[in-house]
Amino acid sequence: MRVMKEFFGKLNGKEVTSFILRNSKGMEMTCLNYGGIITRLLTPDCEGKVEDVVLGFDNVEDYEHHSPYFGAIVGRFAGRISGAEFELDGKSYRLLKNDGENHLHGGNEGFSHVIWEAETFEAEDRVGVTFSYLSKDGEEGYPGNLDVSVTYTLTEENELLIDYSATSDQTTIVNLTNHTYFNLSGDLKEDILDHTLTINSSEFLELKPDLMPTGEKLRVDDTPFDFRNGRKISDGAVSEYEQNILAGRGYDHPFMLNANNNKEIKLKDDKSGRVLVIETDEPCVVLYTGTQIEDNYEVKGVQARKYLGLCLETQGAPDSINQPHFPSPVLRAGERYETRTRYAFGVE
């Protein structure tokens, strides 16, 4: 188990460093201090062939100009906030409108677009890197000085653990996630339409045409949103169901995870045999099937296109600060925001 550091590039005069985490089983992950971006994740298929299973770039410039949040830490608030405003303890806060009339993924200079401090660690059975960032009071319109840390840990069991932690000196809102796009075919040989996904969820959030939650939870029964027993991603691409159509013939939806059972998510690619099992203590996972990926650039030598990868963003519900019956995103001074998501890679 070891960690290596390499120069990746420069951004606005600041050095961007890549951190390469390796175990003895052939798994390797590369991440950046810019946005905490996961650029590469190598795992073996059923024949032992090690290939990359995430979307990313080989240079800083592409991340700056093209990336739809490939591999990045998203915050302060993952997802959309309606009208780019919210009220907290009787005070109104206005945020940047960077998604039509709404606020998306923390703004133009959210956590995905900043340089983080980084500290690596090595142990016998795990290696990792902890990224730290102080988001100052008023940054992108949010209240409070928010001290954030995100730790990536690679284990000998081919697991990636992501631990999020944050404290604030004022009452604020927090909703962090990771925006990695997965494609288990390996080296982007295929799109993700033939991937099989299982989500332990009986309800998903209904969306408006602008992809903002209406506030209503819909049952998954008898819809292309019922992943409880596994189904192909392609079901949503060919569906005439209104919610699939407004998401660009796919999914861009929050699924509320069943709290009374194991909050498990499973993604499988039959051709490679690769399997990804995700476990989280978050109440929600957003399934996004890459329906807005533009085709005017390349990703690791492959033409970017719709359905090239999918995201499984474990988090709190989008717009939860404006939806009182959603789990609250409020973090008060002196309290600590803590959450963990585990990604276990294997073959079947």
Q: Cite the active site residues.
A: 179, 313
Going by C-alpha positions, the residue among 302, 290, 344, 71 that lies closest to residue 186 is: 302
- CA dist 253 and 116 (Å) reads 29
- CA dist 240 and 249 (Å) reads 8
Q: Give the list of residues 6+ apart from residue 259 with CB closer than 8 angstroms, or none.
A: 283
181 annotated binding-site participant: yes
34 annotated binding-site participant: no
How far is Cα of residue 119 from the mean position of the Cα atoms in its chain?
22
- CA dist 71 and 79 (Å) reads 15
314 annotated binding-site participant: no
Dihedral sign, CA of 81, 86, 88, 94? positive
CA-angle at 176, arms to 261 and 4, nearest 5°: 105
105 annotated binding-site participant: no
Indicate the annotated binding residues: 179-181, 252
Q: Residues annotated in the binding site for beta-D-galactose, as ranges?
A: 179-181, 252
